[in-house]
Amino acid sequence: ALTAGIVGLPNVGKSTLFNAITKAGAESANYPFCTIDPNVGIVEVPDARLQKLTELVEPKKTVPTAFEFTDIAGIVKGASKGEGLGNKFLSHIREVDAICQVVRCFADENITHVSGKVDPISDIEVINLELILADLESVEKRLARVSKMAKQKDKEAMAEEPLLIRLKEAFENEEPGRSVEFTDDEMKIVKGLHLLTVKPMLYVANVSEEEISDPEDNEYVKLVREYAEKDNAQVIIVCAKVEEEMAELDDEEKKMFLEELGIKESGLDQLIRAAYDLLGLATYFTAGVQEVRAWTFRQGMKAPQCAGVIHSDFERGFIRAETVSYNDLIETGSMTAAKEAGKVRLEGKEYIVKDGDVMHFRFNV
Ligand code: GDP
């Protein structure tokens, strides 16, 4: 499964946020195939459409889809040189598909800041620079080999060399791989390099409980937003402490709590959805009287692959998929009405599933 890694300097609120994630954790009975790893937190993906479908179909059970966060502790200045848990830390980042960087935007005198004062941009730069330096090292190593082969007129090496040189220049200018533009062919090579700074990044601004109602007044948040805009990255605002408290509440209590704070959606829920989008994930539904359920697929996946998300047998024996869009189903009011209105399509093997499709797979066993 795709996973987003949570990183950040010490004392910025990573553990607090990760606690909130594991406490809010998905009911594991529903997700028996998910990883059991203390550093992985599995959360349910909030999706208002699921509630609507439940009202419409009245199933025995409703199951949201799930998403994994991985806690990656241990970055300090000098990680790329092997300081602290440096190497281990970097190898863990290599394994995740997107990075959520927690940035301290709360001023609390009782909590030490590693560099002496709260300074979110300098914090971000420390981390990003470590990642860039690690990538620079990978690219330099690779370039040394590839250049030799290019001299011997190796075709592939000759194609790769200029790309590596471009990447090296970007890293030397302290620019992340995310900011470099690649053609489709180059992208294939880049994937094989397992670089850290080409992974999509999201900044999680951790503000204090006093400021969560009006976080845009927070000067630190403004700075992070400005920085993220240049970096082509998104910003999500949370108060990790509030999220941790909220994770213990049931839905009704949570709603009241949010109303008291004057916020619409919890920061954690926003983070889950943002990370999900960042990874190019989307949701389709199955809606039967037994169960209404959301399933995760990668944007661009075809119907048989999507069927395979439920069970590999569904993919192998795929025949067709009865498909109606969520909006058409809600508008017509029932599956029968949707059929009568000609909104239910029979889609074949080449159909590219869309976010919100309600699917019924037909397959041979
Ligand atoms: P980590 O080292 O990044 O994992 O940081 P922790 O999650 O352990 O947090 C460090 C300290 O900051 C702890 O004492 C937390 O209670 C505190 N902390 C974390 N988030 C917040 C927050 O949103 N507001 C305040 N006031 N304190 C926080």
pLDDT digits (tens, 9 = 90+) for 308-323: 999 999 999 999 999 9
Distance 129 CA to ligand 1 centre (A): 23
pLDDT, position 79:
63
238 CB under 6 A from ligand 1? Answer: no
Distance 255 CA to ligand 1 centre (A): 24
Q: What is the pLDDT of residues 40-62, one digit of tens each?
A: 898 899 999 999 999 999 999 99
Distance 70 CA to ligand 1 centre (A): 18
62 CB under 6 A from ligand 1? Answer: no
Given a cut of 80, whether residue 223 has pLDDT beyond it is yes
Atom of ligand 1 nearest to the CA of 16: 7
Separation between Cα atoms, residue 242 and residue 207, nearest integer Å: 10
Distance 94 CA to ligand 1 centre (A): 26
Separation between Cα atoms, residue 176 and residue 165, nearest integer Å: 14
pLDDT, position 69:
93
Is residue 13 within 8 A of residue 102, CB to CB? The reply is yes
Is residue 242 within 8 A of residue 261, CB to CB? The reply is yes
Given a cut of 80, whether residue 73 has pLDDT beyond it is no
Of all protein residues, the one whose alpha carbon is nearest to atom 15 of ligand 1 is 13
Separation between Cα atoms, residue 263 and residue 213, nearest integer Å: 6
What integer is the mean pLDDT of 7-26?
88
12 CB under 6 A from ligand 1? Answer: yes
Distance 208 CA to ligand 1 centre (A): 9
The percent of residues in the chain predicted with pLDDT above 90, rounded, is: 70
Mutational pocket test of ligand 1: of 70, 111, 118, the residue with most ligand atoms within 8 Å of the beta carbon? 111
Mutational pocket test of ligand 1: of 6, 110, 241, the residue with most ligand atoms within 8 Å of the beta carbon? 241
Atom of ligand 1 nearest to the CA of 207: 23
What integer is the mean pLDDT of 226-242?
92
Among candidate residues 215, 220, 211, 214, the one with its CA nearest the CA of residue 123: 220
When mean pLDDT is compared over 78-87, 215-224, 321-330, the highest value belongs to 321-330
pLDDT, position 34:
64
Separation between Cα atoms, residue 332 and residue 324, nearest integer Å: 11
Given a cut of 80, whether residue 161 has pLDDT beyond it is yes
What pLDDT band is residue 83 in, cutting at 50, 70 and 90? low
Regarding predicted confidence, which is higher, 84 or 167? 167
13 is in an annotated binding site: yes
11 CB under 6 A from ligand 1? Answer: yes
What integer is the mean pLDDT of 130-158?
95
239 CB under 6 A from ligand 1? Answer: yes
Lowest mean pLDDT, pick from 72-86, 98-112, 286-300, 323-337: 72-86
pLDDT, position 37:
74
Sheet containing 281-287: give its strands across: 61-63, 291-298, 281-287, 357-363, 318-325, 345-347
Q: What is the pLDDT of residues 249-260, one digit of tens each?
A: 988 999 999 998
Mutational pocket test of ligand 1: of 6, 14, 16, the residue with most ligand atoms within 8 Å of the beta carbon? 16
The percent of residues in the chain predicted with pLDDT above 70, rounded, is: 94
16 is in an annotated binding site: yes
11 is in an annotated binding site: yes
pLDDT, position 270:
94
Distance 207 CA to ligand 1 centre (A): 10
Q: What is the pLDDT of residues 253-307, one digit of tens each?
A: 999 999 988 888 899 999 999 999 999 999 999 999 999 999 999 999 999 999 9
Q: SS3 for the chain, per residue?
A: CCEEEEECCCCCCHHHHHHHHHHCCCCHHHCCCCCCCCCEEEEECCCHHHHHHHHHHCCCEEECCEEEEEECCCCCCCHHHCCCCHHHHHHHHHHCCEEEEEEECCCCCCCCCCCCCCCHHHHHHHHHHHHHHHHHHHHHHHHHHHHHHHHCCCHHHHHHHHHHHHHHHHHHCCCCHHHCCCCHHHHHHHHHHCCCCCCCEEEEEECCCCCCCCHHHCHHHHHHHHHHHHCCCEEEEECHHHHHHHCCCCHHHHHHHHHHHCCCCCHHHHHHHHHHHHCCEEEEEEECCCEEEEEEEECCCEHHHHHHHHCHHHHHCEEEEEEEEHHHHHHHCCHHHHHHCCCCEEECCCCECCCCEEEEEEECC
Of all protein residues, the one whose alpha carbon is nearest to atom 20 of ligand 1 is 13
15 is in an annotated binding site: yes
Question: Which pair of tokens denotes residue 145?
Answer: 């080999």
What integer is the mean pLDDT of 123-134?
92
208 CB under 6 A from ligand 1? Answer: yes
pLDDT, position 89:
79
45 CB under 6 A from ligand 1? Answer: no
Of all protein residues, the one whose alpha carbon is nearest to atom 11 of ligand 1 is 11
Domains by residue range for the chain, with CATH: 3-47+64-116+199-278 (3.40.50.300), 131-193 (1.10.150.300), 300-363 (3.10.20.30)
8 CB under 6 A from ligand 1? Answer: yes
